[in-house]
Structure 1
Amino acid sequence: MWLRRAVARSQPGYVSLKGGAVKQVLALSGGVGGAKLSLGLERVLPAGALHVLVNTGDDFTHLGLHISPDIDTVLYTLAGRANQAQGWGLEGESWNTMEAMALLDGETWFRLGDRDIATHLWRRSQLDAGQDLAAVTQDLARRMGVKSHIYPMCRETVRTVVHTDEGDLPFQHYFVRRQCEPRVRSFEFEGLAAARPDPDVLALLASDDLGHIVVCPSNPFVSIDPVLQVPGMWQALRDHAAPVILVSPIVDGMAIKGPAAKMMAELRVPVTAAGVARHYAERYPDLVDHFLIDDSDAKLTDEINRLGLNAVCTATVMTTLEDKMRLARTCLSLEM
């Protein structure tokens, strides 16, 4: 890997911070954690230089609407419209529709705010008119004033199924309806074999304009694995000259957001940043160049280095906008 990328880096068009500003950056993202770092990256990069490839394994149809939770979290965050307290949904939301639905004994376990429903109605109308999800996502970004490029992980339908001790559950039924209570045994991504990487992302990877690839601190099993396992995707990332920087979603044995730590324990993966590193090193050999861990996990540096990933200690918890921008700058300072 090191020799291959060193040769590639020497070719004309390779972009490095030492030689000038990064032209383009590709980020892989799930929901809240990925959206936070994406915002930091967008703020420190020139307008339009950030490309975000987002998990759509969480997508599902609910009340006749196509719901894309991770895409919407990224869009709302970059548009400055996200609910800051919960990290997802829209600020200043109202719940009249859900209250009326409850009076009809309808399904209210997946709560959709009134303003959020407008997004889903518009998406559904465009999909019904023949647009694919990639085109609809690009149009939503434009209408929300987002300058970055947002892509679904593929244009085909892929759905995450959680195999639990209570049987198989669609992801949102496990995550929201059951609040992650069932014990996880494994995951399956239905439709993945027929999926293909987004053509626009492949075009970016085939160009000389990409300087860094950042894997955001999202759940490795249900947010990043679906993206990387689109046939040919992780190999295309690995083979690019740009360094791949991955930020651990586990800090001091805990997940900052979501059920990643619970999942790791139930899958008998050590609930540490090193456990995350081993998952990527074994499942995607030679993909990750730099593995960012929090300062509180500095004791794991040697263990991660032995896996072939270059451990970098820094402050990875993103509470303020300044935190997000600082972490983004750290990611972009790393080279081969």
Structure 2
Amino acid sequence: MTGPRVVVLAGGVGGAKFTLGMREALRRRGAPEATVVVNTGDDIWLSGVRLQPDIDSITYALAGVNDTERGWGRAGDTERVNAELQAWGAGWPWFTLGDLDLGTHLARTGWLREGLTPTGVLERMARRWDLGARLLPMTDAEVDTIVLLEDGRRLHFQEWWTRHRASLAPVAFENPGIADAAPAPGVVDAIAAADVVLVAPSNPVVSIGPSLAVPGMRAALAAASAVVGVSPIIGGRVVRGMADVCLQAIGVETSAAAVAAHYGARAAGGVLDAWLLAEEDADAAADVAAAGIRPVVAPLWMRDVAASAAIADAALDAAR
């Protein structure tokens, strides 16, 4: 195959939609499959099983079995086992586990208990469907995200995000154990071999942030051929979720230019060479350029796979 070798840093629903578009764009170019490095910072143990929400969202999306209405889980899923868990007072009553989804979690947990690493588990999961991309976890270490609240409480990210809908004011996000973590096997090599690394329009704080915080990741990106990011902010608003609350907690304005500056220019020790901004944010291009990052204005609404593929094409072109 000809065409660019691509690595995508991704997480969440935005990452899943972008990865679908990237797969389509690369297929049209006759390019190799992308390697997608997926956030594992929002993973959690619940009812004795290991959940990896971002990995599952991207896997299900590429497999074509995701629930596009809810944005998470499997299409057509049922919740009989979840109801039984609640009857036993197990798990969290506000955290729904679908029956098909639980099948994934049980299989994963069993493989982990047998000694497979998260990388090995994901390789085994990928055998079931023709995903059209190689998925890697950001790390094999457990580095769940903990939210530190203004009142001093510490909540797992999933409780803060799902139960409280980010309504409790956070002051910091932590990933205990991340200082001793390392990129999962294959991640650094994939970045070194890539023609371009793309930062998906995922939550900059809790989806992309943990990946960048894994020791060795920023060094790998510093040596990459090119790094292009796609703004998750359109017209001064987050596209989905509560990323604005996360950004506010770390002192970053909810704007395309501010998020670009948060990532920083590679020339100044940051991450980015170029940054895709939405047409609605074209006026901010000068601010992005002032931060040492090349701005590229393009339509960024991922309404369907075709639109996402057009965004991926624009990101690939920006790497040139």
Where do residues 41-120 of structure 1 align in structure 2 (5 Å cutoff)? 41-46=22-27, 49-106=33-90, 107-120=92-105
Tell me the residue number matched to 1:147: 132
C-alpha separation in 1, matches of 2:2 and 2:273:
20
What does the per-residue CA deviation read over 1:52-92, in whole Å, with 9 as the maximum and x for residues that have no partner? 00110100100000000000000000001111112211111
Which deviates the most, 42-51 or 130-139? 42-51
Contact 2:42–2:53 (CA under 8 A) maintained in structure 1: yes
Tell me the residue number matched to 1:179: 165
Tell me the residue number matched to 1:269: 252
What does the per-residue CA deviation read over 1:148-185, in whole Å, with 9 as the maximum and x for residues that have no partner? 11011011111211111132111111111222111011
Question: What 5-or-longer segments of structure 1 have no aligned partner?
Answer: 1-19
| SS of 1:221 mapped into structure 2 | coil
| SS of 1:308 mapped into structure 2 | coil
Contact 1:27–1:216 (CA under 8 A) maintained in structure 2: yes
Where do residues 242-281 of structure 1 align in structure 2 (5 Å cutoff)? 243-281=226-264
Please give the TM-score of this superposition, normalised by the length of structure 1: 0.89
Counterpart amino acid of 1:192? Answer: I
Where do residues 1-336 of structure 1 align in structure 2 (5 Å cutoff)? 21-46=2-27, 49-106=33-90, 107-166=92-151, 167-207=153-193, 210-241=194-225, 243-281=226-264, 285-336=269-320
Counterpart amino acid of 1:262? Answer: V
| SS of 1:28 mapped into structure 2 | strand
Counterpart amino acid of 1:193? Answer: A
The total of aligned residue pairs comes to 314
Counterpart amino acid of 1:204? Answer: A
Counterpart amino acid of 2:215? Answer: P
Flag the 1:202–1:268 CA change in 2: closer, same or farther, 3 A. Answer: closer
What does the per-residue CA deviation read over 1:247-276, in whole Å, with 9 as the maximum and x for residues that have no partner? 111111111111111222344422111111
C-alpha separation in 1, matches of 2:131 and 2:319:
28
Tell me the residue number matched to 1:4: none
Counterpart amino acid of 1:136? Answer: V
Flag the 1:206–1:309 CA change in 2: closer, same or farther, 3 A. Answer: closer
Counterpart amino acid of 2:13? Answer: V
| SS of 1:151 mapped into structure 2 | strand
What does the per-residue CA deviation read over 1:217-241, in whole Å, with 9 as the maximum and x for residues that have no partner? 0111111111011111012112122
Question: What 5-or-longer segments of structure 2 have no aligned partner?
Answer: none
Question: How far 1:119 sits from its partner (Å)?
Answer: 0.3
Percent identity over paired residues = 34
C-alpha separation in 1, matches of 2:275 and 2:141:
30
Question: How far 1:99 sits from its partner (Å)?
Answer: 1.9
Counterpart amino acid of 2:64? Answer: G
C-alpha separation in 1, matches of 2:58 and 2:110:
21
Question: How far 1:28 sits from its partner (Å)?
Answer: 0.2
Contact 1:58–1:69 (CA under 8 A) maintained in structure 2: yes
Question: How far 1:21 sits from its partner (Å)?
Answer: 4.1
| Structure 1 vs Structure 2 CA RMSD | 1.7
Counterpart amino acid of 1:134? Answer: T
Question: How far 1:293 sits from its partner (Å)?
Answer: 0.8
Question: How far 1:49 sits from its partner (Å)?
Answer: 1.6
C-alpha separation in 1, matches of 2:38 and 2:74:
19
Question: How far 1:146 sits from its partner (Å)?
Answer: 1.5
Flag the 1:192–1:266 CA change in 2: closer, same or farther, 3 A. Answer: closer
Contact 1:264–1:270 (CA under 8 A) maintained in structure 2: yes
Which deviates the most, 136-145 or 290-299? 136-145
Flag the 1:160–1:295 CA change in 2: closer, same or farther, 3 A. Answer: same
Counterpart amino acid of 2:124? Answer: D
C-alpha separation in 1, matches of 2:249 and 2:217:
27
C-alpha separation in 1, matches of 2:25 and 2:234:
24
| SS of 2:275 mapped into structure 1 | strand
C-alpha separation in 2, matches of 1:37 and 1:56:
17
